[in-house]
Amino acid sequence: MTRDLPRRLRRACAAVAAACVTAGALVACGPAAVRADDVNALRSVSDHLDASASAVATARLAVRARATGRLPSVTADATVAEAAETATGAVHGIGTLTVAGQDAAGAREKALDAASGAVGPIAAVRTWLGGSPSAPDDVLRALDDAATALDDADRMVRRTTGEVAP
């Protein structure tokens, strides 16, 4: 079997494998390696805040659709479950970043608070979905507050990186 595979093919296989490993290593190391300084770290914080805000908006749309009877409750639950995963992922992402400067640390702190604060309201949506039908006002208000906090935190992070004027 290996005998009639030409040598060149075997060499080519080895080359392709080596290229894959190299590419894999680059992809794996890439994100960690470039986030060395604070600005990059804060950009990453901002990305996580975006993800968190997206999760909150997803939960809000799901609640609205469910409240008007437009979304089956299993589908709504699956949607919000995924949103909860995204929101906790963002907290994890922000929490494991390190920053050196005082300002950057302050911005990171605020971002972490806002991101953590978004997890609760999203989890509460799943409770609301599972419970007996009731008006979604409280759930929606909590989500709105979370969204506002995320927005403020993001603005502060961007001010710190100099992306938006103070």
Partner 1 sequence: MSRRLLVVALGVLTAIGGFVDAGDLVTNAVVGSRFGLSLVWVVAVGVVGICVFAHMSGKVAAVSGRATFEIIRERLGPTAAGLNLLASLAVTVLTLVAEVGGIALALQLASSVDHRLWVPVAALALWLVLWRVKFSVMENAAGLLGLALVGFAVAVFLLGPDWAELGAQVAQRSAATETGATYWYFAVALFGAAMTPYEVFFFSSGGVEEGWGTKDLATSRLNVLVGFPLGGLLSVAIAASAAVVLLPAGIAVDSMAQLTLPVAQAGGTLLVAVVIVGLVAATSGAAIETTLSTGYTLAQYLGWSWGKFRRPAEAPRFHLAMIVALVVAVGVLMTNVDPIAVTEYSVVFSAVALPLTYVPILVVANDPEYMGEHVNGRVMNFLGTVYLVILVVAAVAAIPLMIVTEAGG
Partner 2 sequence: MIASDLLDVRVLDAGGTPVGWVVDLRFVLDGPPDGRLAGARLHGLVVSPRTRSSFLGYERSRVRHPWPIAPLVRRRHRGTFLAHWEDVARVPDRDDGTDPEREPVVVLQVGYTRYTAGL
The binding site for partner 2 (CB under 8 A) comprises: 3-4, 6-8
Angle at 55 between CA 54 and CA 60, to 5 degrees: 95
Which one of residues 9, 14, 25, 164 is an interface residue with partner 1 (CB under 8 A)? 9
- Cβ burial of 103 (10 Å; 0-12, 13-18, 19+) is middle
The first and second tokens of residue 100, run together, are 């050196």
| 16 versus 25: smaller Cβ distance to partner 2 | 16
CA dihedral 22, 34, 119, 136 (to 10 degrees): -90
Q: Which does 3 bind (CB under 5 to 8 A by kind): partner 2, partner 1, none?
A: partner 2
Place of tokens 């007996």: 132
Q: The dihedral of CA 29, 35, 97, 158: what is its sign?
A: negative
> What would the x/- binding string for partner 1 be over residues 38 to 57, using CB under 8 A?
---------x--xx-xx--x
Q: Return the range that interacts with partner 1 (CB under 8 A); candidates 10-18, 91-99, 101-109, 114-122.
A: 10-18
Place of tokens 């997803």: 58
Residues that bind partner 1 (CB under 8 A): 5-6, 8-9, 12-13, 16, 23, 26-27, 30-31, 47, 50-51, 53-54, 57-58, 60-62, 64-65, 69-72, 74-75, 77-79, 81-83, 85-86
